[in-house]
Structure 1
Amino acid sequence: MSLSVWGARPPLVLIVDDQEANIRLLGTVLSDAGFDVMPAESGKRALARMEAADPDVILLDMRMPNMDGFEVLARLKGNPDWEDIPVVFLTAANEREHLLRAFEGGAVDYIVKPFVAEELVARVRTHAELKRSRDQLYEAIREREDLATIVAHDLKNPLFNISLNANLLASDLADEGQRKRAESMESSAKKALGFVERYLERRASLELRRGYTPQAVPVNQLFDLVVEAFADEASRRGMALVVGEVVEGLSVGCDLDATQLVMRNLISNALKYAPDGSEIELGAAAVPGAVRIWVADRGPGISSEEKARLFRRYVRLSAETDSAAASSSGVGLAVARQEAEWMGGELRHEDRPGGGSVFVLELERAPA
């Protein structure tokens, strides 16, 4: 592929080598092939240059004084802004036994010195093109998510107004059939509004991740918040959200918004599968170093074949009813587990004795 397809800026290659002759030779070959080159004669100098530039590929000598290639690689991969930049190690023929360590540290390729010019150019071009394609994909994903967020924000108010007016209409209608249709309209609007709100919560949670600091949240407070959110839906189906006794002062160290998102997904999931008129049980208990929180239902349970893919994205369970399938995106449990693990916790499924499912969330216990 010609480098002309890269547009105005050719790919930039950072060359890190303590031998000036090597930098000069590598730089000449790559410059003649159309690359921009940025030299660094030491690991320390390379890291300083990274603060001001965004190379597409890094050629890194394995053996350098003071800070060798392995330490530089660890610094690069430990920085979220640099971890996706492909690193190609430069190594002598008698140093190949160290390559496994390099690959385990995050290097993507290696070139043996003395190198063949055509091979050098081909390898660097390949990794530069892969990075450029990956960057373009990430940008497209970001643009799509930004658009979805804008649309979701714009949908909130109309959906709320539909739900509110459908509720008012239902309360004024004497005809039973008309009232049921208005109630169905309200239910559908609320469900759609719930999807929008959960999506926006998810986006907000992702934006806040870098600054995450656990806060002590009383379990009873958490239960009050999530039960209130689903009280109307449960009541319409003749179901009860039953909260078991929780030890006074029992708290978890968590992000409240993320934990509510997990719990809402679990309760929403239970409401989909549990039969009308049944109970959904919420409970919590202290275990060594943590708090075990659970949501238990009397639905059909999870088959052994489906347990292996239960927390994968876009998976819909075979036990779903038509209405459950229509309202399911197949991402709720996957998102819930991701949020739990981000907070250092764990989310798992257990079979409930007598039939049904128990979803268990374990989070760090906050000091009393």
Structure 2
Amino acid sequence: MEHSSVILIVDDNPEFIHMTGTLLTRNGYEVRVADSGRQALSLLDREIPDLILLDIRMPEMDGLAVCRQIRENSRCEDTAILFITGEQDRASLEEGFRLGAQDYILKPCQPSELLARIRTHLQIINQTRELKAAYREMDQFCHSVSHDLKSPIQVMHQLLELLSVILKESANPLPEDADEVMERLFHKCSQAEAMIMRLLDFSRMTQLPCRPVPVDPEKIIRNAYNDLVLLEEGRIIHLTIEKLPSVCGDPVLLSQLFTNILSNSLKFTRNKPEAEIRVTSQVKKGQTAITITDNGAGFDMAYADRLFSVFERLHSSSEFEGTGVGLTIVKRIMLRHGGDVSIQSVPDEGTSLTLYFP
């Protein structure tokens, strides 16, 4: 709620602190104050505010340096930062936004404008928290349902195997379509098991901690490929990896990410005489883009927006097996790294999937 929101004012001007603090207190906010950057950082060790009003121009430690350290504190990821400045220094403001500030206000502050901006950013914070809570509940529900369904499905599979043995040993003649019916039952049971396992994977990928470190993507890609290609006996597959730059990512999550992508490439090239998988990269505007291209079945780009939704499939199970969860996991992992993913494809020619790392 707005009236329980905590606002930290960081400014070396006592008069500004007094006037602004009084205004905010009268409007129902809890106010904390710091007259220097170091004092502000010290306060954050004890309490995390909902919003920080941060003066850019301060001696010893300016607002930009304070902002940088605040954004390095994972406990402050939901805290909004609004710069307070007496001049429109475009370079400083752009640097502030790059560091993670949300807005700025010019001195002298008009009370109505200040309150309106604070109210807007606090509403955004509350909505973001509610959305995160909803995602957590959804993930927990997904994990719970998947886990609860796993055991009954496995028991059904075992009972089917037992029934199959009993029927084969029976002295009574079986209907002509008995074998076909049993085969279909086994297939559907296996499909359900695979779907539940993928849901558990999806849930696990959203709950595992994300601890980014500098990693060599080529090493992760080759390890994932070497595991997957063991199941592709007799196929002609060419994997080409150009020199890739280091990226910052969680090794466990990235291993799952590249496993899902390569698994798709191997699956959708299965009908080609020779499979071609190429991994390239380029760096632009501070982002590293890694692209995985194959010469597989491809798809119509008119349906591309469905690809990253759970259980969405663009090919029938009779063409290619799958559950429709793999790319959803890829998307979620990239978002957890502060990145994104895009895809381009041409039917019968292949697909290019690009990962964008910050």
User: Does TM, normalized by the shorter one, top 0.5?
Assistant: yes
1:302 aligns with 2:299: yes
Kindly tell me: are residues 49 and 128 of structure 1, through their superposed partners in 2, closer, same or farther at Cα, counting changes over 3 Å?
same
1:123 Cα shift? 2.1
The match for 1:112 is: 106
Alignment check: 8 A CA contact 1:346 1:361 kept: yes
Tell me the amino acid that sits aligned with residue 357 of structure 1: G
Q: How many residues align?
A: 334
Structure-to-structure mapping, 1:25-44, within 5 angstroms? 25-44=19-38
Distance in 2 (CA, whole Å) between partners of 1:171 and 1:26 is: 81
Q: Within the alignment, does 1:226 sit opposite 2:225 as a pair?
A: no
Q: After alignment, is 11-20 or 49-58 more displaced?
A: 49-58
Instruction: Choose from 9, 16, 26 the match for 1:15.
Output: 9
Distance 1:167 1:214, change over 3 A: farther
Query: TM-score when scaled to structure 1?
Result: 0.70
How far did residue 344 of structure 1 move? 10
Secondary structure at the aligned position of 1:263 is classed as helix
1:95 offset after TM fit, Å?
Answer: 3.3
Q: What does the per-residue CA deviation read over 1:12-55, in whole Å, with 9 as the maximum and x for residues that have no partner?
A: 00000011221121111111111101111111111121122121
Alignment counterpart, residue 332 of structure 1, candidates 326, 332, 357: 326
Aligned partner of 1:204 in structure 2 is 204
When the two structures are superposed, what TM-score results if normalisation uses the length of structure 2? 0.72
Instruction: Give the aligned partner of residue 140 of structure 1.
Output: 134
User: Counterpart of 1:67 in 2: which secondary structure?
Assistant: coil
How far apart, CA to CA, are the structure 2 residues paired with 1:151 and 1:121?
A: 45
Aligned partner of 1:178 in structure 2 is 178
Structure 1 residue aligned with 2:79: 85
Equivalent in the alignment of 2:259: 263
Q: Could you tell me which residue of structure 1 aligns to residue 192 of structure 2?
A: 192
Structure 1 counterpart of 2:154: 160
Aligned match of 1:69: 63
Q: Which amino acid aligns with 2:299?
A: I
Unmatched tracts of structure 2, length 5 or more? 169-173, 241-245, 283-289
Could you say if the C-alpha distance between residues 268 and 18 of structure 1 is closer, same or farther in structure 2, counting changes exceeding 3 Å? Answer: same
* Counterpart-to-counterpart distance in 2, 1:157 and 1:76: 46
CA 1:259–1:224: 2 relative to 1, 3 Å? same
Q: Report the residue type matching 2:147 in the other structure.
A: H
Does the C-alpha gap of structure 1 residues 294 and 287 become closer, same or farther in structure 2, counting only changes over 3 Å?
A: closer
Q: For residues 27 and 184 of structure 2, what CA distance do their matches in structure 1 show?
A: 66
| CA–CA separation in structure 1 for the residues paired with 2:354 and 2:50 | 41
- Structure 1, unaligned runs of 5 or more: 232-239, 248-252, 363-368
* 1:56 shift after superposition: 0.9
Q: Is the 8 A contact 1:11 1:56 kept in 2?
A: yes
Query: What amino acid is the match of 1:210?
Result: R
Q: 1:324 to 1:163 in 2, by over 3 A?
A: farther
Contact 1:283 1:295 in 2 (8 A): yes
More displaced stretch, 198-207 vs 144-153: 198-207
Q: CA deviation at 1:274?
A: 7.5
Mapped contact 1:88–1:111 kept (Cα < 8 A): yes
Identical counterparts, % of pairs: 25
* Counterpart secondary structure, 2:88: helix
Amino acid at match of 1:105: L
Q: State the match for 2:50 in structure 1.
A: 56
How far apart, in 1, do the equivalents of 2:209 and 2:99 lie?
Answer: 28
User: How far 1:351 sits from its partner (Å)?
Assistant: 5.9
Q: 1:61 to 1:274 in 2, by over 3 A?
A: closer
What per-residue deviation string (whole Å, max 9, x for no partner) do you get for residues 254-306 of structure 1?
946753564356546875x679xx468667789899x9987654x3x323555
